[in-house]
A = this chain, B = another copy of it.
Amino acid sequence: MPMLLVFIGKTKEGFINDGIGKYLRLLKRQTKIEIREIKGSSRSGPDAVREEGASILERVAPSDYLISLHERGNNPDSVELAGKLAPVMDQGRNIVFAVGGPFGLSGDVLARADYKLSLSRLTFTHEMARLILLEQIYRAFTIIQGRTYHY
């Protein structure tokens, strides 16, 4: 799968599901892309995060380019983010985006990451982060292709 988004737990909020669905449909015209929602751990705290991290890393092949969302990650602008993705896609490498649950991603997932991405200094709900990420991936495709996108 050229582009895989791994989320912890189902998206519950209706409007967020609708928005994710919209951008996923738009993106599917551009590339093969899939969202995999992994069941959240039944444990709590650090144990949950570790267990969820192991489930995420099972989906990541050694050759995959892993982008892990992290509040202290890089803060690119949209053009810089597109500039990160373009050469990886040109190499034919698959890209995996990992978005944690309410307690974030494990140290293992962050250590494996080729790029740690922060969407903003503002804190978003982890469901809003999914929606914003989808919109930014779509925006990256329009930037790479030089198309005008309603802004």
Q: Which residues of A contact B (CB under 8 A)?
A: 13-16, 18-19, 22, 75-78, 81, 102, 119-126, 128, 132, 135-136, 139, 150-151
A139 nearest CB neighbor, chain B only: B123
Whether the Cβ atoms of A122 and B77 lie closer than 8 Å is yes
Shortest distance from the beta carbon of A48 to any chain B beta carbon, whole Å: 15
Please give me the 5 A-B residue pairs with the lowest Cβ-Cβ distance, nearest first: A120-B120, A15-B18, A15-B19, A77-B121, A78-B123
Interface contacts beyond A15-B22, A75-B121: sample of 11 additional A-B pairs, CB < 8 Å, sorted by A: A15-B15, A15-B18, A16-B19, A19-B19, A75-B120, A76-B121, A76-B122, A120-B122, A123-B151, A124-B132, A125-B151
Q: Complex Cα distance A22/B17, Å?
A: 14
Whether the Cβ atoms of B19 and A122 lie closer than 8 Å is no
A76 nearest CB neighbor, chain B only: B121
